[in-house]
Amino acid sequence: MLRVKTKYITLLIATLFVIFLPVTSNSAGITEFEVKKGDTLSGIIRSAGISSSDAANAIAVMKGVYNPGKIKIGDKIRVFSNYIQVDGQRKPSLLRLDIQPSKLERFEIKRVDEKSFNIYFHEIPTSKRLVKSSGKINTTLFGATRKAGIPFDVGSDFVRKYSYDVDFQRDIRKGNSFDILYEEVITPNGEVVGTGDIVYANLNLNKESFKIYRFKTLDGRYGYYNQEGQSIEKSFLRTPVDGARITSGFGKRRHPILGYNKMHKGLDFGAPRGTPIYAAGSGYVSKIGRNGSYGNYIRINHSNGYSTAYAHLKKFKRGLRKRSRVKQGQIIGYVGTTGRSTGPHLHYEVLRGGRQINPLSIKTVAINSLKSLEMGIYSQHVKMVEREVAKVDAKNKVAVLEID
């Protein structure tokens, strides 16, 4: 009996010895950090037990490549260390430092010798997959895309594409629906880091479907076409703002603020503050800034002798300035109520030869259509897209179609 107890005591001592055995000099540890408010890179490194000299040497190699002072809340940092003997004591030494300032890039600082480090930049590889999303319209088309969880850029692009043919005030009814097949950009672990192009869209308006397809022509250019192979692009958008209603037309009216009859030289579109405003046509910004009773104002000159003007904006799209080139459908600003205004709306003008004309009198024409040789290829493309769209429910991932 005594012999058995002695055996178990010996085993217990051996187990405790293993549990509390100090880490050997060649063992490595990894400490992971998520940057919080008030953190510094040096402080993070030192909190892992690393010496101030190691931290300083690692940070010094970043000069001109990465600014350690720009770490931000949420950044991921990993400290790799091992133990070395210093003056008879075991102390942690920095082997490697990983910094991921965004989902698409990573910096790696590796020890070279006792005092020096090298820095390496790694771009996180990405791929694309297709996502189908659907929704019903209760208020505005753009608002419906947001409610369906569709990213802002995709929703804006979707609205922009239908701005050529759809009158958002008169054509859309509550209960209308839509489908969108668009690209998501993902990392190897499946994390979504961005969006790409819309591949297919269908807007169901009052029992009528308006389908568009992204297609690469024989000369290598991408465009969007309807079921008949006609380009969706027109000379001007029908409406430069989504979800708007015309609150005041072109012509003589009693001014709501001044109180007397005055010529109204544009269209007023009532819309919520902050609603995106789109350039009705491609061109360059000839005027941008504060403009008297117009408030925040943009004028765009177009190559066909026309100009369009947009007034009472809350703010301009960041980066726009005089002589900036803009593309048709590009967001140029947001609905506001600056200047002489009774509430949030867009005052929209079309000018020909410098004189305002009725925007509703402009006839929009298609820019181009597919040639007969391309129509055969396009017809097959449409059938392929339709087959794949029919296979999935909204929100399912699709990886069958070739994304080029």
Same domain (yes/no): 255, 354: yes
Q: Is residue 95 predicted with pLDDT exceeding 60?
A: yes
DSSP states of 206-260 as a string? Answer: TTEEEEEEEEE-TTS-EEEE-TTSBBS-BSS-S-SBTT-EEEE-SEEEE-TTT-S
Residue 5 belongs to a domain: no
Same domain (yes/no): 335, 388: no
- Say which CATH number the domain at 253 has: 2.70.70.10
Same domain (yes/no): 227, 375: yes
**Cα–Cα distances in Å, from 28 out to 31, 79, 84, 303, 393?**
10, 10, 11, 66, 48
The SS3 of residue 382 is helix
Residue 357 belongs to a domain: yes
Cα–Cα distance measured from residue 45 to residue 63, given in angstroms and rounded to the nearest whole number: 17
Confidence of residue 230 (pLDDT cuts 50, 70, 90): confident
Same domain (yes/no): 349, 261: yes
Cβ-contact 195, 185 below 8 angstroms = yes
Over range 342-371, report the average pLDDT.
80
Residue-wise pLDDT for 38-92, tens only, equals 899 999 998 888 888 888 999 999 888 888 888 889 888 999 988 776 666 777 7
Domain final residue pick, 123, 142, 172 = 123
Same domain (yes/no): 45, 99: yes
DSSP states of 35-49 as a string? Answer: --TT--HHHHHHHTT
Same domain (yes/no): 344, 277: yes
Cα–Cα distance measured from residue 114 to residue 116, given in angstroms and rounded to the nearest whole number: 6
Over range 229-255, report the average pLDDT.
73
Cα maximum dimension of the chain: 114
Confidence of residue 303 (pLDDT cuts 50, 70, 90): confident
* Residue 300: other Cβ atoms inside 10 A: 25
Domain final residue pick, 100, 123, 146 = 123
Residue 194 belongs to a domain: yes
Same domain (yes/no): 284, 199: no
Cα–Cα distance measured from residue 276 to residue 17, given in angstroms and rounded to the nearest whole number: 68
Looking at residue 130, its pLDDT comes to 87
Which stretch of 33-37, 83-87, 356-360 has the lowest confidence by average pLDDT? 83-87
Residue-wise pLDDT for 310-348, tens only, equals 999 999 999 999 999 998 889 999 999 999 888 899 999
Confidence of residue 363 (pLDDT cuts 50, 70, 90): low
Residue-wise pLDDT for 155-212, tens only, equals 989 988 887 777 776 678 888 999 999 999 998 888 888 999 999 999 998 878 899 9
Cβ-contact 166, 140 below 8 angstroms = no
Residue 3 belongs to a domain: no
Question: Whole-model pTM?
Answer: 0.58
- Say which CATH number the domain at 75 has: 3.10.450.350
Residue 10 belongs to a domain: no
Tell me the residue range of the domain where 354 lies. Answer: 245-361
As for how many domains the chain has, the answer is 3
Same domain (yes/no): 280, 351: yes
Q: For the chain, how big is the Rg over CA atoms in Å?
A: 31
Residue 192 belongs to a domain: yes
Same domain (yes/no): 379, 344: no
Looking at residue 85, its pLDDT comes to 66
Same domain (yes/no): 348, 203: no
What secondary structure, in 3-state letters, does 149-196 show?
A: CCCHHHHHHHHHHHCCCCCCCCCCCCCCEEEEEEEEEECCCCCEEEEE
Over range 353-365, report the average pLDDT.
78
Average pLDDT, the chain: 82
Residue 12 belongs to a domain: no
Looking at residue 316, its pLDDT comes to 95
Same domain (yes/no): 169, 314: no
Domain final residue pick, 60, 88, 123 = 123
Same domain (yes/no): 90, 65: yes
Residue 7 belongs to a domain: no
